[in-house]
């Protein structure tokens, strides 16, 4: 369970950016292949934000799907998880998206 450390990083980064402003909403982007479980981040969020400018803020998480390009046939394929094959049978895939782990925006007052 690394989501606590991840959530702490989020709180730290946001605090650095907002410089004391009250945070009403945080928007995250978490890719399906990032290795981070959105529900676990949600579970940690309230604990981590307690006593900070983010306490009580809403948490929106955009989940981005996994996508890859096959290095053998050049086709683009959707990935449900990190173990996937191109329809051509190749496992030699270059990930294009799905690994995102970003703070998109924060709404402050």
CB of 89 to another protein, least distance (A): 11
DSSP symbols for the chain: --HHHHHHHHHHHHHHHHTTPPEEEEEEEEETTSS--HHHHHHHHHHHHTTSTTTT-EEEEEEEPEEEEETTT--EEEESSSS---TTS---EEEEES--EEEEEEEE-
Residues 58-87 as x/- pattern, contact with another protein by CB under 8 A: -----------------------xxx-x--
Q: Which is nearer to another protein, 72 or 76 (CB)?
A: 72
Residues 4-23 as x/- pattern, contact with another protein by CB under 8 A: xxx-xxx-xxx-xxx-----
Per CB under 8 A, does 109 bind another protein?
yes
Radius of gyration, CA atoms only, the chain: 17
**Residue from 20, 32, 36, 86 in contact with another protein (CB under 8 A):** 36
Residues that bind another protein in the complex, under the rule CB under 8 A: 1-6, 8-10, 12-14, 16-18, 24, 28, 33, 35-36, 40, 43-44, 47-48, 81-83, 85, 91-92, 95, 99, 101-109
């Amino acid at each position: 369970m690394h989501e606590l450390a991840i959530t702490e990083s989020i709180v730290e980064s946001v605090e650095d950016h907002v410089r004391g402003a009250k945070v009403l909403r945080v928007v995250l982007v978490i890719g399906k292949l990032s290795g981070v479980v959105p529900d676990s981040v949600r579970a940690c969020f309230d604990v981590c934000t307690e006593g900070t400018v983010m306490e009580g803020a809403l948490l929106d998480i955009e989940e981005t799907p996994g996508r890859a390009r096959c290095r053998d046939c050049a086709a683009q394929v959707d990935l449900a998880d990190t173990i996937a094959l191109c329809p051509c049978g190749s496992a030699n895939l270059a990930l294009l998206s799905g690994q995102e782990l970003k703070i998109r925006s924060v709404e402050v007052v």
